[in-house]
Each structure stands twice: as structure tokens, then as C-alpha cells.
Amino acid sequence: MLLLDVSKSSSHPSDDEQKIFQYIDRHQDTFVKSLSEWVAVESDSIQPHLRGNITEIVKIAANSLRALGAAVELRNVSSQDEAYGQNLSLPPVILAELGNDTGKPTVCFYGHLDVMPAKKEDGWKTDPYTLTEVDGKLYGRGTNDNKGPVLAWLNAVGTFIALNMTLPVNVKFLLEGMEEAGSPGLEDLLKENEGFFSDVTYIVISDNTWLSNKKPALTYGTRGNAAFFVEVECCKKDLHSGSFGGIIHEAMFDLVALLDSLVDSSGRILIPGIYKDVAKITDEEMKLYAPIDFNFHEHKANIGVKEFLYKTKEDILLNIWRNPSLSIHGIEGAFSESGIKTVIPSKVIGKFSIRQVPNMNLSTVESQVKEHLKSVFSKRNSPNKLTVSMQVGAKPWIANIKDLQYEAARRAIKTVFQQDPDMIRDGATIPVAKMFEDITKKSVMMFPIGAADDGEHSQNEKINRLNYINGTKVFASFLLEISKLHSASNSMTAS
């Protein structure tokens, strides 16, 4: 069997790439203006009263794709009535395609057009919906997550068209507007539109960031997420602490004890058996960690902490990528406003999640959590009512870094950034990666262009102008590289 030699690649741009890069440089202000127009749409998918804004940005993106010559369909998904207790229609999902040459591979790009809530009074230095450039940094909600990367893909494809260059691949787009709200209806839409993916060869997602502020990265894995509510009820209504404190089993006491039983001060999860199914790390995988650009001081500065739980690069990366973690997120039902309210809450709900990794099983994790909490609760001899439920269950995702599209992306990054990328995982959960892989059975790659300090979901979210423009270049270069590698692979297979 003949094997494709992927080691022979040049970091020097080809003639076509030089033309493309020059065009992108000349038109970067136009690309920034487009980003400004998209950021101005407050497409917040969390707040129901802003749902119309998502439909607006979907239409804007659809028109941008039509301007490129793409065939665009707006597919409706089912009504949403669970998250907000009301019947809200969901915004349509864009399915677009450009090119149908059966002799070329087809690359499908997934992105989302919605954003997390943002208000200037939350700590933003600028209006989150007015793109503001300061020292080469483009501030605004959605610049990194995910409007900037989506536009970079559109700009890359548009550059080929503007230069009258033949697209080296067929391109498809799936753009949704409810990712930040959990992508309701997307899974059903994928299953109902399997024909759209029948000729897709590669799927690319650009919805995360590098590990470094300066060094590019490719992502080949994400953790899953199992989110739980643990509810304790002690009475039918809130009680006066002066009248009843000291004579009843307070729900908050039980809840604090339950939450305290989940993890120790070193960060280790205390639920019995939780580590049993974690995949063993291989020597080959450990070799990927050595060249990774990870600066302790830079990473601490980015997030504003004094110390990490671990002292070496490898231990830190293993524990945000390869090992499960448990985080406590809040308590519902307790008084949390300023001042003090001297009541005993009748019912409190603790909220926590476990980021699980291969080969952990969701149903097993659910059982382990429930058994552990029931065991701890029983030892307290409390008459209160305990209810434990898993609210979210998302599986981890892992890709094969030897897939052709990873090699094509490596080559493109080497050409544009003149350095090899870090091969990284993401400690967060991006359910669409696993969803696409399971439903379409296609190769999925995560291809970020944003820096580690971009602050997605946070105040003062930004994307560097350099990342946005070079991201456009690297996506264009990727399309050329995957075309070449795919053709060479097919030729070798045929021979």
C-alpha cells in the first residue's frame, strides 16, 4: 500500500497565494467594515426579546453568501418552548453551497452568528456593539466568538471570486443563530438534511482560540460536559431565621455539605470511580506537549489568578485537556443580592458540572454522581428532600490529527505565520464537533484564528486585526492545500 508523503511542504507562498494575500492586505479595511456591521447587530440568543436580531443577522449573512454566488437556503427548525416556558420560533439555519464539481473535495464550514449577552455597564471599556479599534485590537461582542471567524471564511472564498480564480474545492456553509443557547433543533436539522452532507469530504469549525497570544494552533479534542442540579428542600416556604434557626434541618446546611463532598482542595474529584474510565495517555500523545507554547505568566495574566493548582506545563495542560474536572457554578434559591436577608430558604439548588474526557460514559457518570450524593446525604440523617438531576449531557470529541485536513491546515499555517502550529485540545465543550462527526460520519477539524486573550464570552471581547486578516489568508491557503493533498491522495489510492 502506497502512503502519501505529507512531509514535503514549503512555507513559501505560491504565486496564487501571493496574489491572494496581496488582495486581502489591500482590502483589509473593507473586511473590518463588514465585521463592524455584523457586530452592530445585537444577536443575543440568550434573551428571548432579542430573537428578531438573530433573524436579522442570519439574513445579512445569507445575502453575503448570495453575493458570492452561493446557492442559499434558509431552513426552519422546530419551535422552542422549553428553555423559556413559551413558544418561541427559532431563527432559520443557513445551508449554502458554492460549486458542485465532483472531481473536487467539498469542505463544509460551520459557524454561528449569535453572541452572548453584553452591556457596557458590565465592565466593557467600549460599547460592545460598536466595533472599536485600539492598538490593532478590534473590540466588540462577537469579534472572536464567532462573527470574526465566520467573516474570515467568507472573505477567503470571496477573494478567489474577486480575483477570478477558480475555487480549488467545493464549499458549503452551515451557519446557525442559537449556538450560545445550546443549538436547539440543530441535531434534528442535521439528521433531516443528510443529503446536504452526502458529498461533504471535510468539516471545519472555527469556534475556539489558540492556547497562546501569538502562536497559532489546531485543536483536535474537546472535553464533554455533564451538568447537574442538586436540590434540597426543607419546608414549604422561607422562614424567619430568628424564629426557626436552630430547631430545623436547614436545606442550605445540607447543600453546602453535599457540594463540599465533590472535590478536594487540590482539585481532585472525590466521587468514587469517576477516574476509572479515563483513557490512558500514550507516549505518542505526550510528544505533542513538548513544543507547545505555554507561558505561565502570560496565561495567569490573561485570566487574573495568582497561582495554578499545578506547577509544570504538562500537568496544567493534562488537567485542562485530558483529565476530568468539576466546577461549582452557583446556588439558586439563596439570597445573593447586596446586604443581608435573614431568612432560611425553603429550597436551594446547587449547580455544578463535570467536564468529562474519553473514554468516560455519560450514563455512568450520572449514576456515579447520584450514588455519591445520596450516600453523603444519608449519612447526615436529614429529613429533607434530596433531588439530583443531570441537566446537560455532552460527549467529549477527539479527532485523528493524521487526517488530510489537519496536514493541509498545518501547511497553510506554516505559509501564513511562518511557524508550525501547536496541536492542542480545548478544555471546554463544543457539542457541535461531536454532533457533526456522529451524524455525518465525516472528518471534523477545529481551526481557530483567535488569540488566547481575546476574551470570548467576557467583557472587552476582541480579535486582533492581524489575526482577522491573517486568518482570512490562512483559510484561503487551506483551501488550496486541501485540494492538492486530496488530489494526491486519490491518485496514490488509484495507483
d(CA 53, CA 147): 14
491 grid coordinates: 491518485
d(CA 24, CA 30): 9
d(CA 288, CA 219): 12
Q: Is 179 a catalytic residue?
A: yes
d(CA 237, CA 308): 42
Phi, psi of 307 (to 5 degrees): -145, 155
Residue 200, judged by CB atoms within 10 A of its CB (0-12, 13-18, 19+), counts as buried
198 grid coordinates: 452526502
**Which value, to the nearest 10 degrees, does the dihedral of the CA atoms of residues 146, 150, 152, 156 take?**
160
CB 9 within 8 A of CB 414: yes
DSSP state of 322: I
* Active-site position among 179, 231, 254, 481: 179
Q: At what angle do helices 465-494 and 15-26 cross, to 10 degrees?
A: 160
184 grid coordinates: 436547539
d(CA 491, CA 495): 6
d(CA 96, CA 319): 39
Q: Is 114 a catalytic residue?
A: yes
Which H or E run contains 147?
helix 147-162
* Active-site position among 44, 97, 114, 231: 114
CB 165 within 8 A of CB 483: no
Helix and strand numbers (H, E) in the chain are 15, 18
Phi-psi region of 137 (alpha: psi -120 to 50; beta: other; left: phi over 0): beta
d(CA 407, CA 119): 41
Tell me the catalytic residues. Answer: 114, 179
